């Protein structure tokens, strides 16, 4: 299986946000991009994205030392392959860069088993830009 080298981030891992320091040592290149989904703000201080057709704004990060970067990101996002208690699932999506290029990348999607909690406690982020929403 081919390992991708890019990840799309849309919340606390973005530049200027609280957990950017985790991804920063692995970032070879970062550019603005969008994916399709629906973005929520959680009362616990970070966002959650689920499937949808709205633009979600974030950053496409090209990683170096991908296995170690993914290990740390998986830990942060509470993700383990084939575990049904994950908070997020690591999936592959297509992000669109500002130049209009489509790029396959990893993305952490809020786990399906948490959607009921999300519906009760999450706040829809208008415009799909969590860092701007949090101001």
Catalytic residues: 77
Of the candidates 57, 56, 71, 58, which has an alpha carbon nearest to the alpha carbon of residue 26? 71
At 21, list the tokens.
């320091």
Residue 119's contacts (CB-CB under 8 Å, 6 or more residues apart) are none
Cα distance between residue 95 and residue 10, in whole Å:
12
At 117, list the tokens.
């909690």
Contact 47, 125 (CB under 8 A): yes
Angle in degrees, CA 133, 134, 135, rounded to 5: 90
Q: What is the DSSP pairing of strand 47-63 with strand 6-9? A: antiparallel
């Amino acid at each position: 299986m081919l390992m991708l080298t890019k990840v799309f981030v849309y919340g606390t891992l973005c530049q200027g946000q609280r957990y950017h320091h985790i991804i920063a040592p692995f970032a070879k290149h970062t550019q603005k991009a969008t994916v399709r989904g629906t973005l929520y703000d959680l009362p616990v201080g970070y966002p959650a994205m689920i499937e949808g057709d709205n633009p979600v704004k974030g950053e496409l990060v090209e990683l170096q030392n991908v296995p170690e970067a993914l290990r740390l990101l998986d830990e942060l996002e509470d993700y383990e392959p084939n575990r049904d208690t994950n908070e997020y699932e690591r999936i592959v999506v297509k992000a669109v860069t500002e130049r209009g290029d489509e790029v396959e990348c990893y993305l952490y999607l809020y786990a399906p088993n948490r959607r009921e909690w999300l519906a009760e406690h999450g706040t829809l982020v208008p415009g799909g830009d969590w860092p701007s929403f949090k101001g």
